[in-house]
Amino acid sequence: MASAHTTSYAPLTEDTEADVTVIGGGMAGISTAWELSRTGRRVIVLEADRIAAGVTGYTTAKLTALHTLVYDKLRRTRGGGAALQYAVSQQGAVERVAEVAQELGIECELERFPAYTYVRDPAGTDALRAEADAAREAGLPAAYVTETGLPFEVAGAVRVEDQLLFHPRKYLLALAEDLREHGGEVYERTRATGLHEGAPCRVTTETGATVTSREVVVATHYPVFDRALLFTRLSPRRELVVAAPIEADRDVQGMYITEEEGKRSVRTAPYGTDRRLLVVTGEQFPPGTGDAVARFRRLAEWTERHFPGTDVAYRWAAQDNDSTDTVPLIGPFHPGARHTYVATGFGGWGLSGGALAGRLIAGLISGDPPPWANLYDPRRLWGPVREAPAFLSHQAKVAQHFIGDRLRTTHVDSVDEIPPGTGAVVRIGARRCAVYRDEDGTVQAVSARCTHLGCLVAFNAAETAWECPCHGSRFSTEGTVLNGPALRPLEQLDIGSDV
């Protein structure tokens, strides 16, 4: 966000028509809109805030087909053919970004490096050997190795050659401009608030203007207008990121990930003329749970311990959704959908996944889907439930929050107990209020009931935001929606005379 220009496309203010409406301007939405514009269709992108400033603006931007330990799992659960299709489609997406960047002359810091999944605990090496074997069998240039470019020893690693690092905002902002030059339109600060499926479809927006189009793509990260109840198949996971400048001769020459220690992911990016920016991700947790301040501290300490002499200069957080069977949900929106599509459930790999969604949805709309389309079809989850244990476990957690939160009397007993700079849920009369007290002592109160399905929100002190543990909606202290699936803000409350 600090190293690419900002955008200021106007909101949609008048009713309009298009061939395709794409809702959401992240990696998935802009890639899909751009691919569709190349088929000659007139495409409109509706973005609630600014494009490439959602999860895509706060990602770590490894563009790779090595997704931790996916190949062995796929081989075991869906067969070698599925693992092969996954490898072909994901590596194809990696190369598609390189190809498009070259075709349009986009300077987006593309660099080729190997990608590694590593373990430090010898007990994990069998799983890595199996992964290396499954990835190689699926056609990737994969090997099991014990040497990496990290400044500490590992017990073992899967290494896949020729993967990419890039700057997703620089890439997507250029795609959006090219889309406009080819007759497409981009509207920012235009949240879609309603979807009427039909022939044609109609999308209503918060500005009051509507878009009528034959096809609609929902690329809002967590799907809105979720008729297939996909939210029951997705679990949100928030991750923290810290970044520190390092000397160029300390570069790690690759991209790394481990599931150990609550996950650690490492890459570097260009930084000024003679340094690199070390980017470390980890400490994943369900939104609205635990102490994000302590987690940030742990991640910074890990970084400074493993890369001595570094000073963390940036920190941020974002979240992604895991599907219950690990594979993203990209394709028809629901079992009866004829002209609506969705792209979600990227499980931490939505840069290759978003580029892939562009190719897949453009193929479906053009009547020329790629041969691996069925692997990602969201409707697969409505057959016999292969992923039943993960599904049931997620739903049990949601039920626990839904019922448990309501039974809890209060989170604190009175507004007086809330110190400056923090927030808590307080029962005032019959209501649960989410109350934030700023550093000057001014109190801001909103309803604590998430506007998605009514779970109680919890305060994240590290990011000064209210988070819903059920499906990951996030709200500012004024109640504005920061992340869906919620569409409506938390109701503002005047508790002045009640405090």
Minimum Å gap between C-beta 342 and ligand FES is 17
Residues near ligand FAD (CB under 6 A), total = 41
H or E segment and range at residue 396 = helix 388-407
Closer of 472 and 479 to ligand FES (Cβ): 472
The residues, ordered by sequence, that sit 6+ positions from 442 with a Cβ below 8 Å of its Cβ are none
Stretch that binds ligand FES, among 179-187, 257-265, 298-306, 446-454 (CB under 6 A): 446-454
Interacting partner of 287 out of ligand FAD, ligand FES, none (Cβ under 5 to 8 A depending on kind):
none
Binding at 219: pick from ligand FAD, ligand FES, none (beta carbon under 5-8 Å per type): ligand FAD
Question: In whole angstroms, how close is the CB of 237 to ligand FES at the nearest point?
Answer: 14
The tokens for 3 are 């190293």
Contacts of 360 (CB under 8 A, 6+ apart): 89, 330, 331, 343, 369, 370, 373, 376
Residue that is written with structure tokens 């989850």 in the block: 381
Token digits of residue 26: 């992240």
Of 18, 468, 490, 493, the residue at the interface with ligand FES (CB under 6 A) is: 468
Beta bridge partners of 449: 456
Q: Which of 257, 306, 269, 277 is nearest to 153 (CA)?
A: 306
Interaction between residue 7 and ligand FAD (CB under 6 A)? no
Residue type, 187: Y
Tell me which residues in 171-230 interact with ligand FES (CB under 6 A). none
Q: Which residue is nearest to ligand FAD (CB)?
A: 350
- In sequence order, the β-bridge partners of residue 22 are 45, 217
| 3-class SS of residue 376 | helix
Q: How far, in Å, are 55, 94, 178 from residue 104 at the CA level?
A: 24, 16, 8
Residue 55 binds which of ligand FES, ligand FAD, none (CB < 5-8 A, kind-dependent): ligand FAD
Residue 69, token pair as written in the block: 């330990």
Q: Which of 203, 241, 206 is nearest to 219 (CA)?
A: 203
User: Residue 284 CB, nearest distance to ligand FES (Å)?
Assistant: 18
- Shortest distance in whole angstroms from residue 432 CB to ligand FES: 13
Among 74, 154, 361, 450, binds ligand FES (CB under 6 A): 450
**Token match 């920012």: residue?**
188
Q: Hey, what's the torsion of the CAs at 453, 455, 461, 464, to 10 degrees?
A: 30
**CB of 320 or CB of 463, closer to ligand FAD:** 320
- Tell me the site size for ligand FES, rule CB under 6 A: 12
Using CB under 6 A, list all residues that contact ligand FES: 450, 452-455, 468, 470-473, 485-486
Using CB under 6 A, list all residues that contact ligand FAD: 23-29, 46-49, 53-56, 59-62, 191-192, 219-221, 224, 239, 241, 281, 318-320, 346, 348-354, 484, 487
